[in-house]
Amino acid sequence: MNEFSIALFTATDVHQALFDMHSIKASGPNGFHAAFLSENLKCGWKYCSLTPASEFLMTAHLWRGGTTLLLALFQKLSLLKRYLIFDLLVYAIYKIVTKAIVNRLKNVLYEVISLS
């Protein structure tokens, strides 16, 4: 059990977390949910969400290159639109990381918590 709980997260764990999220539940603070994110960010989802989420889970450091990349991609948009899109992507990363950790804990908690 301990080896499983301290094992490094893999790309498979992150991918599983992404597809385990319910598409219309738990909308973000801006009202958007996973279905909106996955539908509207299809082209960049893999690069903008899986890479930073994987790196954060493996190293506990956020993907620094992602900020520069996103700002370069959205430089033609107004500052407010850039902020909103960046906010959506950061929130998506947060949801993926949280779901990956929860998936890991689901397998361990039943052995840790006793009924008595």
39-68 pLDDT, tens digit each: 655 544 444 445 666 666 666 665 555 555
How far apart (Å, rounded) are the C-alpha atoms in residues 9 and 55? 9
The residue-averaged pLDDT of 6-34 equals 69
pTM over 0.75: no
**Which residue, among 34, 46, 29, 44, has the nearest Cα to 74 in the 3D structure?**
44
Radius of gyration of the chain, Cα coordinates, nearest whole angstrom: 16
Domain boundaries, the chain: 2-112
